[in-house]
Structure 1
Amino acid sequence: MAMWIQAQQLQGEALHQMQALYGQHFPIEVRHYLAQWIESQLWDSVELDNPAEETKAKRLLDNLVTELQRKAQLQGGEDGFLLKIKLGHYASQLKSTYDRCPLELVRCIKHILHSEQRLVQEATNASCGSGGQAMDTLSQRHQQINQAFEELRLATQETENELRKLQHSQEYFIIQYQENLRIQAQLSSLSSLPPAERTQRETTLQSKRATVEAWLTREASTLQKYRLNLSEQHQKTLGLLRKQQTLILDEELIQWKRRQQLAGNGGPHEGGLDVLQSWCEKLADLIWQNRQQIRRCEHLTQQLPLPGPMEELLSKLNSDITDIISALVTSTFIIEKQPPQVLKTQTKFAATVRLLVGGKLNVHMNPPQVKAVIVSEQQAKALLKNESTHSESSGEILNNNCVMEYHQATGTLSAHFRNMSLKRIKRSDRRGAESVTEEKFTVLFESQFSVGGNELVFHVKTLSLPVVVIVHGSQDNNATATVLWDNAFAEPGRVPFIVPDKVLWPQLCEALDMKYKAEMHSGRGLSEDNLVFLAQKAFTSSSNNPEDYHNMTISWAQFNRESLPGRNFTFWQWFDGVVELMKKHLKPHWNDGAILGFVNKQQAQDMLLSKPNGTFLLRFSDSEIGGITIAWVAENPNKPGERLVWNLLPYTTKDFSIRSLADRISDLNHLLFLYPDRPKDEVFAKYYTPPLSKAVDGYVKPQIKQVVPEFTTPNPEPSGGTSTFMDQTASPSVSHPNNFGVYPSIMLDPDGDFDLEDTMDVARHVEELLRRPLANQWSSQQS
């Protein structure tokens, strides 16, 4: 209800805009009397493009109707009688309007709430500015645009007034002209009169004709001057319209598209489209009003031709304003929801296109159809250069036609492609070392719009963000690299789809941090130390000074074409493996600050040796994609008094699908403090799996646990005579391999990382143990 209270405080144009949100589709009285209920509902949880969400939307509609009916019944007394009838009427009206399309109700209310929030925020920013505080850049820019619209409105109103004056003057001129013709006719008829009478009448009529002709001469000059002045005013208005349109389309809309592109890398979601639509609709209104005025001027000129350059001037004005409206229509045909940029064949995908001026120009009166085709980079270049008039395709998209629908509640004209699928793709010859995951395509959406009752017809096209087509999930990693590089470093207005081959390291850091924060769903991104670690990995450097990397450049080949020294994977493949591991299994631990992650083996050793025994930290594996290891400090069992840093065999996604990180840390009793000095239970206890329940129907459920042989302590006999099944994952030893019965020990390789050939994979080990009869396992352990 807080939002509605603030919305009621709006004034001037903001209040007018707020009131305009309501109407028969959703009465403002419903918003007022159900304010608290409306603002407490989870409208944003409903996916409008998903038909499966219709049940949820229907439930919200039914609840809204019920609330209205309940509110109506609570009204009593003489004053409440009319309100009771009105609220009951609204309940029936909303039920009948949205019962067959409940998603439209959700769309309507979401639009209203978001618009109210925007208006309140803008009013708050403006009031802060008036109080002496500087308004932010966004508010200043919006204020500039709104002021320009007011100037345009006044200019258009002025030319409308002048046009009416011209029309009235011209109508009076025509009347006087007809009067002059009547006098001439009378003079011609005087020949039949007697000479005396004819002379007297002729003198009178000729005097009258001279007066009228003198007036007509003066008035013709005045009319011509009016016309020229009006055309000059129209030229000025058109100049203002061009300037405003350039600001909105070439700056604001381009910035929105850029934010949309960065959202593909995890940047903030591209909001503000409703604001852009409101501006574009105002432009469409003003352009169309001026176009109608110019056409009326043309009609007046044709009705009363006068000597002078008016025909040429009006023809030029008409041509100019048609160009302006053409640019507006073609530029505001945009992709609201982009298709996935990594597009797998034979997989369903969706997209939404929208015309930001559709409602104002009545395009929806003849609903246009939109077609989607996939084109190559070369075909996209040809289209933008107008070298290709017909749309060649590089593949086949199923369900690629959709009719645009007008949603009256929100005033949007859009087409929702919900069930497209790329059946096949035709690839071009690749250049040099380029792989299939570096080849870029784009989805082309095209349609034809009729404006002004087929008076103007526009063929419109818009290209999606670059798309990388894959046929198997194993290609996803490299395809994502291509998309991330393109989204981060594409220049506005580029030739499709050129990106720099090299970028400054800080630029890549910004892109990686954006991606990482988005996947973690938190504000904790990559610290300066993390970025130094990544720089050391990317450039094979040992410098710990961030300044040393600020002016360094990294190439696409270094990023994801050339393998890291001594490894069989690239820098991006390693980083993406970390992201996937964290996203799927370790997100809460990263957000809790429990994972240092970006620490190499030597750094971990230096950090831990200064801490008490049992202190441990979590770092990402250097040798395995998507691996994380536990490093801890403890006594050397072979040399009393000597302390060593131990590194556990790295865990991967497969390991955490068997047992979580928190439970694995809980299993290892020798791990006491998370670096630097936090008791491990304080950090991880909330994530421990609750103890297993007791036996059911005579069966005991086996329990998987891990042990490190060198640090294993005897477990007490469980109560109730049952036994706990223990699974040991892996333990590193230093230079003295020990065997503990069924537990294999793990040797470190010369670089200090594990050797896959000398270890048994955790999942295979567990699977092997679980295949044995439980009794045999127990007896073998007892022996």
Structure 2
Amino acid sequence: MAQWQELLRLDPALQGRVSQLYERKFPREIRHCLCVLIESQDWDLAAVDENKANMCFHTLLVYLEEQWNRSIQENSVLQGPDFSGMKNYLLKHFQDKPLNLAKILSDCLKEERKILASAQGCGGTAMEQKWRELDNKVDELQRQTLDVKKEIKSLEALNEKLDYIQKTWQSQVEQHIGLAQSNAVVEEECLKRANFITQTKQMVLQQILNILTLAEQIVPTVTDVELPEWKRRQQMACIGSPVDTCLDNLQKWFTTVADVLLRLREQLQKLQDQNKKYSSTDVSDLSAPMAEIEKFALCLLTKLLANALVVEKQPVMSSLPHRPLVLKTGVRFTVTVRFLANLPEFKCLLKVKPVFDKDVEEATTVKGFRRFDINWADCKVLDVDTPDGGLVAEFGHMSLKERKTRAKGQNESRLGVTEELHIMKFVTGLQHAGLECDIEASSLPVVVISSTNQVLGAWASVMWCNVLSTSEPRNLLLFDDPPPLTWQQLSQVLSWQFLSVGQRELDKNQLSTLKDKIVDYPDDLVHWSKFSKNEGAWIWIDGILDLIKKHLVDLWRDGSIMGFVSRKKTQVLLQEKQSGTFLLRFSESNRDGAITFSWVEHTNGETHVHAVEPYTKQELSAISLPDIIYHYSLRAQRKMTRNPLLYLYPDIHKDTAFGRYYTETSAPKKVVDGYVNRRFASISDNPTPPPSPPREMDMTDMTDMDLDETMEKQYLIQELFSDLLSDLPELPDPWTSNQEMPLTQTTYADPVSSL
């Protein structure tokens, strides 16, 4: 389901928050009308890549132009959305600044996802509440740090004044002997001031200690709870989950807490400098407590920064953008890392180096895993090169090369190529203001293939691994003895695959059909070998995913394809429906992905449910499925043809369901270069016996020659002028009825509002 459609189901208060996102930024009407198209574009990448921003911008313009032309052809300009006005708005405001459009939509889509997360039952509400509480703690940390800064500044003024008084009074006493009798009074006053300064220092140290105590609660929450939860969401996003993987919150928390700890260390240093400079005014030794507090602050800061490096975008090849973590030897892939403590002090300070299978050589060697080196594994400096000013480095020109380190047959792995799991790490070191720490971040397990025909098995491994391997360090020997998945786990992942490819998840009926096909264990478990090996279910499912991606995205997104429904269930669903009702389902026998339609006919008191031979990808490349449905016909006796497909299950007229996708209009076409226009027609022999002739018609009045001549003329007219006659009533069929056929008005759904 489109993200916008989910937002439309929210309560009025949350919809109001969505509406505020677009105020004075972007027309909400355009967001509504182009919801699916907008969400299909990668606006996050477009926001940082001007070429990508231009591509996305022109995609919107082309779509609006197509819809405008269609509304003109259908004479529905006043009935539908103002596509022309939308196009003019985009040209006026973003023609010269497509990057601005990309940034606006990228930010708005992220905020929409946050609003959706907050509305997803108790879990979303609890998460939002938890984040709000953490925000409040971090804000309190900042506020208290500012108070400490003010107190230390006032201490500096007090010390200066006391030091001035002491030095000035001593000078005056030396010049005026008579003032010596007042010396005791002045010394007592100075002592009072010194005691006050000491008490203030102790109070400030206690304030700093309180801040560090609060930071001691926040740092583990950020590093040990929120960061692993984000990594888990990223894992699920890699295998298709629509979860939010935005780093804004984490970066805010890491940056703010790191800044507070750095500022506290600076304030402690100022206190120490004051002690040295104004030692004559200090009546107590606070050096030991300050040293302990400094050590405490340094420990917290080290823990925070050691976890601040993350793999923002997992390894992915540009040729397989929807299947990250599958890498092919010799083929370029990209990875992006980010340092979450986004402070000016760290800009250009960190050099990150990628390393493949760091610290896992022993485990992989035991099992005979292949070893790889990274080509062009140069260090990258974390610099500010993103719109939000993040400390980011993109490794965009890396590839893998296998080491030839073992003799053939020696210490061979028991696992196949697509079951080997590898890790890429990114390492760096930080030295700043007395702080030294080693920092590293790990990718999710990747599968390295040597041939494109191994992608299918590799992606199955990636899905299986990321469902089961939920924490670090990752189990790279998972497939040595792969645990089974519950049907609940697998069904969710499979549903995400269809969401990623076709913008629509599987419903409960489709999942039920898949379960019957995949699960045959009483404990509802699916074993790795049954899912992926040889003739496993995944091969068939992946063929259907590819079929949807290449030829059926629109129909799948609209819900026009029932898809996963058995032949037996098809019979049950259709037999009670009116003649001409049909449904679309995937072939269960074609492993490469194919689709068929089944329809029902009631003849002579009998019910017949028929299915056409499935259409393959090759056939759908020549003509789209909506056009096949529109032109499909059955050839009855004596060459008469008719289209048996009238209503998409349960009772939607086929033109309402598919009219917007027809590529041929009903208007007659011109003769080009002397040739008569032709069309690709799908014709089958009628599997249903024709009904008995109606009693009202006297067949003795029509000779066989007249009958043949009449039907032959009708056949020729249909073949030559079908486009012209498509909106006219069909000629009476002498085999079925002598009644006049009603003129059926074809209606077309709004191509945008129905999304």
| TM-score, scaled to structure 2 | 0.66
Other-structure match for 2:645: 672
Aligned-pair identity in percent equals: 27
2:536 aligned with 1:552: no
Other-structure match for 1:438: 419
Q: How does 1:331-480 map to 2 (within 5 A)?
A: 331-340=307-316, 341-358=325-342, 360-364=343-347, 366=348, 368-375=350-357, 378=360, 394-398=372-376, 400-407=378-385, 410-424=388-402, 434-449=415-430, 451=432, 456-480=435-459
Deviation at residue 293 of structure 1 after TM alignment: 0.8
Q: Which is worse superposed, 36-45 or 611-620?
A: 36-45
Q: Using a 3 Å threshold, how does the CA distance of structure 1 residues 272 and 177 change in structure 2: closer, same or farther?
A: same
Other-structure match for 1:147: 136
Deviation at residue 237 of structure 1 after TM alignment: 0.6
Other-structure match for 2:508: 528
Q: Using a 3 Å threshold, how does the CA distance of structure 1 residues 217 and 123 change in structure 2: closer, same or farther?
A: farther
Query: Could you list the per-position Cα deviations for residues 326-368 of structure 1 after superposition, in whole angstroms to 9, with x for gaps in the alignment?
Result: 333332322332222112233333332222333x23322x454
**RMSD over aligned Cα atoms:** 4.9
Q: Using a 3 Å threshold, how does the CA distance of structure 1 residues 396 and 151 change in structure 2: closer, same or farther?
A: closer
More contact order relative to length (CA 8 Å, sep ≥ 6): 2
Q: Measure the CA separation in 2 of the matches of 1:371 and 1:539.
A: 45
Q: Measure the CA separation in 2 of the matches of 1:435 and 1:134.
A: 39
Other-structure match for 2:270: 296
Q: Which is worse superposed, 590-599 or 231-240?
A: 590-599
Contact 1:380/1:442 (8 A) holds in 2: no
Q: Which is worse superposed, 475-484 or 171-180?
A: 171-180
2:628 aligned with 1:655: no
Which one of the candidate residues 140, 144, 149 is aligned to 1:160?
149
Q: Using a 3 Å threshold, how does the CA distance of structure 1 residues 106 and 324 change in structure 2: closer, same or farther?
A: farther
Q: Measure the CA separation in 2 of the matches of 1:520 and 1:134.
A: 27
Q: Measure the CA separation in 2 of the matches of 1:684 and 1:142.
A: 45
The aligned amino acid for 2:418 is T
Other-structure match for 2:84: none
Q: Measure the CA separation in 2 of the matches of 1:124 and 1:339.
A: 28
The aligned amino acid for 1:325 is L
Contact 2:47/2:106 (8 A) holds in 1: no
Q: How does 1:239-278 map to 2 (within 5 A)?
A: 239-268=213-242, 270-278=244-252
Contact 2:48/2:386 (8 A) holds in 1: no
Contact 1:450/1:457 (8 A) holds in 2: yes
Contact 2:329/2:399 (8 A) holds in 1: yes
Other-structure match for 2:702: none
Count of residue pairs the alignment pairs up: 600
Contact 1:374/1:395 (8 A) holds in 2: yes
Other-structure match for 1:572: 538
Query: Could you list the per-position Cα deviations for residues 424-482 of structure 1 after superposition, in whole angstroms to 9, with x for gaps in the alignment?
Result: 47799999763211212233223344545xx5455432122222122222111111112
Contact 1:377/1:441 (8 A) holds in 2: no
Q: Measure the CA separation in 2 of the matches of 1:380 and 1:247.
A: 33
Contact 2:483/2:527 (8 A) holds in 1: yes
Between structure 1 and structure 2, the one with the greater Rg is 1
Contact 1:284/1:361 (8 A) holds in 2: no
Q: Using a 3 Å threshold, how does the CA distance of structure 1 residues 695 and 401 change in structure 2: closer, same or farther?
A: farther
Deviation at residue 267 of structure 1 after TM alignment: 2.0
2:470 aligned with 1:491: yes
Deviation at residue 414 of structure 1 after TM alignment: 1.7
Q: Measure the CA separation in 1 of the matches of 2:52 and 2:142.
A: 42
Q: Which is worse superposed, 640-649 or 34-43?
A: 34-43
2:206 partner SS: helix
Contact 1:407/1:413 (8 A) holds in 2: yes
Contact 1:49/1:418 (8 A) holds in 2: no
Q: Measure the CA separation in 2 of the matches of 1:504 and 1:48.
A: 39
Q: Measure the CA separation in 2 of the matches of 1:275 and 1:603.
A: 48
2:142 partner SS: helix
2:610 aligned with 1:630: no
Deviation at residue 653 of structure 1 after TM alignment: 1.8
Deviation at residue 622 of structure 1 after TM alignment: 2.5
2:518 aligned with 1:538: yes
Query: Could you list the per-position Cα deviations for residues 713-744 of structure 1 after superposition, in whole angstroms to 9, with x for gaps in the alignment?
Result: 988565699899xxxxxxxxxxxxxxxxxxxx
Q: Measure the CA separation in 2 of the matches of 1:657 and 1:118.
A: 36
Contact 1:596/1:618 (8 A) holds in 2: yes
1:630 partner SS: strand
1:338 partner SS: strand
Q: Measure the CA separation in 2 of the matches of 1:183 and 1:423.
A: 83
Q: Measure the CA separation in 2 of the matches of 1:241 and 1:427.
A: 49
Q: Measure the CA separation in 1 of the matches of 2:588 and 2:123.
A: 49
Q: Measure the CA separation in 2 of the matches of 1:572 and 1:239.
A: 52
The aligned amino acid for 1:47 is A
Q: Using a 3 Å threshold, how does the CA distance of structure 1 residues 35 and 223 change in structure 2: closer, same or farther?
A: closer
Q: Measure the CA separation in 2 of the matches of 1:481 and 1:162.
A: 60
Contact 1:437/1:479 (8 A) holds in 2: yes
2:441 partner SS: strand
Other-structure match for 1:742: none
Q: Using a 3 Å threshold, how does the CA distance of structure 1 residues 307 and 255 change in structure 2: closer, same or farther?
A: same
The aligned amino acid for 1:300 is Q
Q: How does 1:164-243 map to 2 (within 5 A)?
A: 164-171=153-160, 174=163, 224-243=198-217
Contact 1:377/1:440 (8 A) holds in 2: no
Deviation at residue 285 of structure 1 after TM alignment: 2.8
The aligned amino acid for 1:237 is I
Q: Measure the CA separation in 2 of the matches of 1:679 and 1:720.
A: 21
Q: Measure the CA separation in 1 of the matches of 2:113 and 2:599.
A: 51
Deviation at residue 161 of structure 1 after TM alignment: 3.3
Other-structure match for 1:99: none
Other-structure match for 1:329: 305
Other-structure match for 1:314: 290
1:445 partner SS: strand
| TM-score, scaled to structure 1 | 0.64
1:339 partner SS: strand
Q: Measure the CA separation in 2 of the matches of 1:112 and 1:591.
A: 25
Deviation at residue 598 of structure 1 after TM alignment: 1.5
Q: How does 1:69-84 map to 2 (within 5 A)?
A: none
Contact 2:580/2:644 (8 A) holds in 1: yes
Deviation at residue 290 of structure 1 after TM alignment: 1.0
Other-structure match for 2:260: 286
